[in-house]
C-alpha cells in the first residue's frame, strides 16, 4: 500500500458534510484532495475548501471541489496537509513545496490541523531537512547574511535554472542546520530578521499526525 495515500485516506475520514476544509500542498496532500473528491462523488459529501497553493487549487478545480477565496472564510474546521519532518513533540518542518506561508496562515486559522506523512518523515530531532524560509527578494544578500549568523548554510532555492518564486512573489532560502534542538526559539529568532516573511517551522501547531506505513496507519495525539 502507498503509505502517503494510506495517511491521507485516514485523515479524510475526519471530514463531515458542511465543513470548511483547508487543503494542503504536496504529494501527500494530493492524495487527500483526491479522496475528498471521491467521497463527494460516492457519498454526497458536501464541503467547501480553501487552498494553500495555486497547485492544489488547480487540482481541486479539476476534481470539482468548491474553492472559496480566503477573504470569504469565516472559520476553517479542518486543515489536512503534509510535512517534510515531524519530531517527537509533533513540531514540523514544512515548505518543501514552497507553500509554507499560505500553509501556515491556513493551519493557524483552523480548528483542527491534521498532518499526514509517511513514516520516513518521523524524526527524533528536526533539521536534516533544510529549513525553508520565505523572504522578500529585496535585500536578499543582507537577509541571507543574517540567516547565516544563526548557524545555517543558506541556499537560494532554484527551479528550472531560475530562482524559485512562491505564489506570493517571494523567494525561498533553504537553510541547512543539520540539527534544530529548539525549534520554538529558532523560529522566534528567524522572525526578528527584517526581510523574512515566514519560516517553515510549525511549532506546537499540529493537533493530529497520521503516519502512513506499508500496512496501514498510526495516529499521534
Ligand atoms: C509544501 C509542504 C509539503 O507539505 C511538504 O513539502 C511535504 O510534501 P510531500 O507530501 O510531497 O512529501 O510543506 O510546502
pLDDT tens readout for residues 164-205:
999 999 999 999 999 999 999 999 999 999 999 999 999 999
Query: Which CATH code fits 3-122+204-214?
Result: 3.40.50.1360
Q: What ipTM, to 2 d.p.?
A: 0.99
Average pLDDT, the chain: 97
Residue bearing the CA closest to ligand 1, atom 10:
28
What is the Cβ-side half-sphere exposure of residue 12, based on CA atoms within 13 angstroms?
A: 26
Distances (CA, A) of 58 to 55, 91, 99, 139: 5, 29, 14, 32
Which of 66, 107, 80, 112 lies closest to 11 in space, CA to CA? 80
∠ CA(124), CA(27), CA(25), 5° rounding? 90
pLDDT tens readout for residues 40-57:
999 999 999 999 999 999
CA of 71 to the centre of ligand 1 (A): 24
Residue bearing the CA closest to ligand 1, atom 4:
82
pLDDT band for 139, please (50, 70, 90 cuts). confident
Percent of the chain with pLDDT over 90: 98
Q: Where are the domains of the chain?
A: 3-122+204-214, 131-198
pTM reported for the whole predicted model: 0.97
22 is known to lie in a ligand binding site: no
The span from the CA of 84 to the CA of 10, in Å, is: 19
Residue bearing the CA closest to ligand 1, atom 8:
26
pLDDT tens readout for residues 57-85:
999 999 999 999 999 998 999 999 999 99
In sequence order, the 6+-apart residues with CB closer than 8 A to the CB of 101 are 134, 166, 168, 170, 197, 198
The structural architecture, per CATH, of the domain 131-198 is 2-Layer Sandwich (3.30)
Residues designated as active site: 103
Our answer on whether the CB atom of 132 is closer than 6 Å to any ligand 1 atom is no
Amino acid at each position: 500500500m502507498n503509505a502517503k495515500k494510506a495517511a491521507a485516506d485516514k485523515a479524510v475520514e475526519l471530514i463531515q458534510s458542511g465543513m470548511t476544509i483547508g487543503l494542503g500542498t504536496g504529494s501527500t496532500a494530493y492524495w487527500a484532495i483526491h479522496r475528498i473528491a471521491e467521497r463527494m462523488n460516492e457519498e454526497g459529501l458536501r464541503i467547501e475548501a480553501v487552498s494553500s497553493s495555486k497547485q492544489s487549487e488547480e487540482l481541486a478545480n479539476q476534481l470539482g471541489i468548491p474553492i472559496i477565496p480566503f477573504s470569504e472564510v469565516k472559520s476553517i474546521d479542518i486543515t489536512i496537509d503534509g510535512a517534510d519532518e515531524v519530531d517527537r513533540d509533533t513540531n514540523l518542518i514544512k515548505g518543501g513545496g514552497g507553500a509554507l506561508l499560505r500553509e501556515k496562515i491556513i493551519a493557524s486559522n483552523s480548528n483542527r490541523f491534521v498532518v499526514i506523512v509517511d513514516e520516513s518523515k518521523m524524526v527524533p530531532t528536526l533539521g536534516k531537512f533544510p529549513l525553508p524560509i520565505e523572504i522578500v527578494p529585496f535585500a536578499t544578500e543582507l537577509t541571507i547574511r543574517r540567516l547565516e549568523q544563526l548557524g545555517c548554510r543558506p541556499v537560494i532555492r532554484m527551479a528550472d535554472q531560475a530562482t524559485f518564486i512562491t505564489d506570493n512573489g517571494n523567494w525561498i532560502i533553504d537553510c541547512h542546520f543539520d540539527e534544530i534542538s529548539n525549534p520554538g526559539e529558532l523560529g522566534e529568532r528567524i522572525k526578528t530578521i527584517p526581510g523574512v516573511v515566514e519560516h517553515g517551522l510549525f511549532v506546537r501547531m499540529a493537533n493530529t499526525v497520521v503516519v502512513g506505513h506499508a500496512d496501514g496507519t498510526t495516529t499521534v495525539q
